[in-house]
Amino acid sequence: MAATGLRMGVVGGSIAGCAMAVAGLRAGADVTVYERSAGALQDRGLGIVIPPALHGRLVATGYLDAAMPTAPVAARVWLTRAPDGSAREFARQPSPVTPCNWGLLWQALRTASAGARHHRGRPVTAVVRTASGGALVRAPQGEATYDIIVGADGHESLTRRVLAPGLRPSPAGYAVWRGTLPLSATADHRRPLELLREAWVTVGFPGGHGIFYLIPRGGGGPDDRLLAYAIYATPPGRSRGEAGYVRQLAEEYFPQEWAEIVARGEHTAMTCHPVADLHAPVAADPPFLLAGDAAGVTRPHTASGAVKALQDALCLEEALRASASAAEALRRYAHERTPEGARLVDLGRRLGRAQVERTPDWTAMDQGAVDAWCRATLAGASSYLYAGTEAGAD
Ligand SMILES: Cc1cc2nc3c(=O)[nH]c(=O)nc-3n(C[C@H](O)[C@H](O)[C@H](O)COP(=O)(O)OP(=O)(O)OC[C@H]3O[C@@H](n4cnc5c(N)ncnc54)[C@H](O)[C@@H]3O)c2cc1C
């Protein structure tokens, strides 16, 4: 279908919203984006890991500028603390990833979607089906009608409530701490920095694990990096989410050099969230379509939230180009993206069970045990980032 003249309203102007706007523009639609926040979105978020193949495809198709800084590495290294406090590397796997800085990724998508009308500080209060098959967007500043409404309004999506009223997140019962540190925090620790230049690193400890990787800080060359982490654990009692707890964990369980970096390093950012997931039973029902976290949230072990949003956009563009009508395009989209969301939620739960709820005895793990354990957890794939059928594939 030539989507020329198709009116597309997008609720939410973050990663998913800007990516969907690019998709609509590329297919020929007239796109309007409503973003509730009037502030600077590029300050949100920390590290985002995307598959190299997806990154290449997004650059080739013009969603991302090739100049957007990334910090690619090709391997995954597994560490735990040895009895003398040093780091014991117990496994290494090929696992190519392209770490990005959330803010730079958003900025690149925002630039690529400049052809859309972007309204900032414009909270949508309702989306309503119209008798003609379109939909109405209501905001304090007024109303407008569209042929397609894209709900890219995040995990508490108002648009999703139309498609799946009453859907609630399922809490995992543990939390994730995300942080970034300047490379100066590693100044006295050469080995961790050397490792991070070639691999993303998992540090296993009783009751959880931490993921560490370098991300670009922005602007500068290959040394302009931040150390990003996500640490998963269940804090004791009711103190779920305390920022100080991660420092305590690091001191108690991390290899000494890593503990010193995380527990004593001056952070540039740190947040903590309870982990939860949810999945909309249908990703689109004309004229509504859900993208990114609005369509579903997986446990972050899958590193797939932004990835899924980007794939959602590629899928919408293809569906618009290949369909005879907007309704047909949305049905194609639902057919492809609904099962993918369900698969990722299931994968996130399996990973959470294996790496947080029932952690192995990390001190007893070796290369063979890690490989076997990964295969069992991942139903045959050797590494979830992003093997086989996953995000890297077209
Ligand atoms: C620990 C952790 C690690 C992660 N690591 C990765 C990773 O490595 N790789 C990866 O791909 N993903 C990762 N993610 C997930 C990723 O950050 C999110 O999935 C992604 O940013 C979601 O983008 P979104 O646009 O769907 O939602 P959001 O970024 O939440 O944006 C929703 C937008 O909608 C706006 N909005 C909401 N309601 C309204 C309204 N009524 N009117 C107008 N605007 C509205 C909001 O202001 C917001 O800007 C991680 C997440 C966590 C927690």
Number of H helices and number of E strands within the chain? 10, 18
For atom 53 of ligand 1, the residue with the nearest CA is 300
Predicted local distance difference test score (pLDDT) of residue 220? 66
Spatial distance between the Cα atoms of 394 and 390, rounded to a whole number of angstroms: 9
Q: What is the DSSP letter of 313?
A: H
The mean pLDDT of 387-391, rounded to a whole number, is 44
The mean pLDDT of 31-46, rounded to a whole number, is 82
The mean pLDDT of 159-187, rounded to a whole number, is 92
CA of 154 to the centre of ligand 1 (A): 5
Ramachandran region of residue 119, left (φ > 0), alpha (ψ -120 to 50) or beta?
Answer: beta
pLDDT at residue 394 is higher than 50:
no
CA of 252 to the centre of ligand 1 (A): 32
Q: Is the CB of 300 under 6 A from ligand 1?
A: yes
Spatial distance between the Cα atoms of 37 and 13, rounded to a whole number of angstroms: 9
Q: Which CATH code for domain 73-101+172-275+358-377?
A: 3.30.9.60
**What are 110-148's pLDDT values in tens digits?**
999 999 999 999 999 999 999 988 999 999 989 999 999
The CATH architecture that domain 7-43+103-169+277-349 belongs to is 3-Layer(bba) Sandwich (3.50)
The mean pLDDT of 353-367, rounded to a whole number, is 92
Predicted local distance difference test score (pLDDT) of residue 264? 79
End-to-end CA distance of the chain: 22
Spatial distance between the Cα atoms of 324 and 74, rounded to a whole number of angstroms: 42
Closest atom of ligand 1 relative to the 124 alpha carbon: 42
**What are 178-203's pLDDT values in tens digits?**
989 998 888 889 999 999 999 999 99
For atom 6 of ligand 1, the residue with the nearest CA is 303
Residue 196, φ and ψ in degrees, nearest 5 = -70, -20
Closest atom of ligand 1 relative to the 178 alpha carbon: 1
pLDDT at residue 221 is higher than 90:
no
**Which pLDDT band, with edges at 50, 70 and 90, does 393 fall under?**
very low
Domain boundaries, the chain: 7-43+103-169+277-349, 73-101+172-275+358-377
CA of 304 to the centre of ligand 1 (A): 11
Residue 69, φ and ψ in degrees, nearest 5 = -65, 140
Predicted local distance difference test score (pLDDT) of residue 269? 83
pLDDT at residue 82 is higher than 90:
yes
CA of 45 to the centre of ligand 1 (A): 8
pLDDT at residue 231 is higher than 90:
yes
Q: Is the CB of 304 under 6 A from ligand 1?
A: yes
Predicted local distance difference test score (pLDDT) of residue 232? 95
Share of the chain above pLDDT 90, in %: 76
Lookup: tokens for 322:
């290949």
**Which pLDDT band, with edges at 50, 70 and 90, does 392 fall under?**
very low
Contacts of 368 (CB under 8 A, 6+ apart): none
**What are 266-283's pLDDT values in tens digits?**
888 888 889 999 999 999
Q: Is the CB of 301 under 6 A from ligand 1?
A: no
Average pLDDT, the chain: 90
